[in-house]
C-alpha cells in the first residue's frame, strides 16, 4: 500500500506543478501581448524565431540611386497573345 500512497503523492505533485506552469504560461502570454516589442529574446522558441511574424518589418527595397523599383502585377494581362 505504500506504493499507492507514493503514486498518489506524485500524482498530486504533478497536478500542482502543471497548474503552476499553466499560470506562469498565461502570465507570460499576457506580458508579451501587453508589450510585444519588449519580449525577452531568451523566451522565444526556435520555431517562433523562424516564423515570419517574429521578424521585424523591413523597409521597402530601393534601387542604388534611391528610386523605388516597379512592382510586379499579379493581375491577368489585358490582351492575350496567341503564338502560332
pLDDT at 6: 92
Q: pLDDT tens digits for 42-78? A: 556 655 655 555 555 666 677 777 777 676 666 655 6
31/18: higher pLDDT: 18
Mean pLDDT of 38-44: 57
pTM across the whole model: 0.39
| 13 or 55, higher pLDDT | 13
At 37 the three-state DSSP class reads helix
**Average of per-residue pLDDT values in the chain:** 73
CA distance linking residue 9 with residue 15, whole number of Å: 10
Which residue matches cell numbers 519588449? 38
Give residue for cell 497536478. 15
Amino acid at each position: 500500500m505504500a506504493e499507492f500512497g507514493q503514486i498518489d503523492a506524485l500524482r498530486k505533485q504533478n497536478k500542482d506543478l502543471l497548474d503552476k506552469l499553466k499560470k506562469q504560461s498565461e502570465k507570460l502570454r499576457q506580458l508579451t501581448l501587453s508589450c510585444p516589442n519588449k519580449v525577452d529574446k531568451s523566451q522565444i522558441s526556435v520555431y517562433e524565431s523562424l516564423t515570419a511574424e517574429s521578424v521585424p518589418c523591413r523597409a521597402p527595397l530601393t534601387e542604388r540611386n534611391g528610386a523605388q523599383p516597379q512592382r510586379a502585377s499579379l493581375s491577368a494581362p489585358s490582351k492575350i497573345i496567341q503564338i502560332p
